[in-house]
Structure 1
Amino acid sequence: MTSLFTRLQPARKFRISKSAIAQLLNIPKQLIVRVECWKYVVFVHRRDRGGQFISYRKLQQWLNA
C-alpha cells in the first residue's frame, strides 16, 4: 500500500471538493465545516457528528487513477 501511495501521492495531487465528500457520505454539503487531506486519509469536520475519517480508496479520484 505504501508504494502505491508514494506513486499516486493523493494528498498532493487529488483535488477533493466538499461536494464530492458530501455525495460520498450522502449528506448535504452545508454540514461539512472543513476538509483536510492528510497523508493516508481525509479528515472531514462535520457539523452534526464532529470529525470523520475517510480513506482515499473510497474516493472517485482513486478509482480513476
Structure 2
Amino acid sequence: MSWKAINVILGRAATDEDFCQKLLKDPVRAIKQQHFALTKDEEEKLSRIVAQDLADFSQQVLTSFGKE
C-alpha cells in the first residue's frame, strides 16, 4: 500500500466518524470496503493494530509500514 493510499485512508478517517470507527474496529475490512487492495502482508500488519483513537492508529501505521 502506497503512502498516498495511507494518506487518503487517514484523511477520510479524520473527516468521516463512521469510517473512523470502522477503521479502528476492523482496519482490514474497512480499508477493503473503500476498494483498496491489500497484500497478505499488509492485511497481517493492519490486523495487529489495536488503537483507541485515530492518532494512535496513525502512529501504529507509521511504525508498521515505515520501514518499507
TM-score normalised by length of structure 2 = 0.28
Greater helix share, structure number: 2
TM-score relative to the length of structure 1: 0.29
**Rg: which structure is higher?**
1
Considering fraction of residues, name the structure with more strand: 1
